[in-house]
Amino acid sequence: MFGSDQPTAYDVRFRIFGFPVRVNPFFWIIMALFGEHFFRQSGILYLLIWIACAFFSILLHELGHAFLIRFYGSPSAITLTGFGGYAENPYPPTSPWKRFIISFAGPAIQLLLVGVLWGSNELTNWAMPPAPPMVTFIFTILVLINIFWAILNLLPIYPLDGGRMLREVFQITRLRNPDAAIHIVSMVICGLLIFRGVTSYMQIEVKIIDDILPSWLRPTLFMTIWLVMFFIMNYQLLQIANRRRRYYSDPYDDDTPPWQR
C-alpha cells in the first residue's frame, strides 16, 4: 500500500539515537514526485530542499514513536518507504493507555517543532525578509509539512495514528470489540472523504460536507485513491477482527487505569 518495504541493495541505512534507520529508494521517488512543482518553478536546488525537509519531518515523526516505544521497554527500528514510514514495535505494551501515548507521540513532536519554529521566528524574525529567500522557503516548508502531516495522521482512520489512538479509547472504555469498531469508523470516514473527492473531481458542489471540511482537507484525486485503499484494507481487517473475536479475546489488552497500576 505504501510501496514495498522489503530491504533492497539501494537502501540508505544509518543509526540515530541508537535506532536503526532504513530508507527505501521508493521514499525518495515519492517525495520527488510530491515536490515536482518546486523543480518547475525554482529549479533542482529547491526540489532537493523540499526532499530534505520532507525526510527530516517524517523521520522526526517516527522518532517520536520510537522514543516512546523504547521508553516502554521495547526495541525499535525506523523504516521510511513510499508515502511515509513506521517505527517497529515488536513488543507493544499491554496497556492501551501506553499504546495511545505511543501513537500520539509522532504528531505531537511535529506540532512541537512547529511551535518552536513559529515562536523563534516571532521573537527574532529570522525567517522573514530581509532573510535570504532560501531560509524563508525552508521555514515555510517545514511548518507546512509538519502541520499537514500531523493533522493528517490524527484523522480517525486506521492505520493512521488517529485511528490507532481511537482504537485504544474504545479499549479503555471497554467497548466489546474495539478492533471491529475502529475499522467501521475508518470505513465511514474514508467513505465520506472518498465521496467528496469524487464529487470535487467532477466539480459538483456538496455544501453540507464543504461546511465541515476545511478546503485543504478536501481530497485531491491522488488522496481519493489513497483513501479507497484505506477503505479496502479496513474492510478486510474488519472481517479478520470479527472472526478472531468469535474464538478468543485479546490477551494484550490491559485497560487498568494508570493510577491503579
Report which of 226, 228, 227, 200 is spatially closest to residue 215, judged by C-alpha positions: 200
Residue 258 in this model has a pLDDT that exceeds 80: no
| Terminal C-alpha separation, the chain | 38
Q: Give the tens place of pLDDT for each residue, 164-201.
A: 999 999 999 988 889 999 999 999 999 988 988 888 77
* pLDDT for res 212: 65
Mean pLDDT computed over 31-60: 90
* Helix extents (H) in the chain: 25-34, 36-42, 44-71, 96-124, 133-153, 161-172, 178-201, 207-212, 221-247
Q: Give the tens place of pLDDT for each residue, 100-117.
A: 999 999 999 999 999 999
Q: Exposure pattern of 216-241 as b/e (b: 16+ CB <10 Å)?
A: eebbeeeebebbbebbebbeebbeeb
Mean pLDDT computed over 202-225: 71
pTM: 0.85
**Mean pLDDT over all residues of the chain?**
87
* pLDDT for res 249: 54
* pLDDT for res 211: 66
Phi, psi of 54 (to 5 degrees): -65, -45
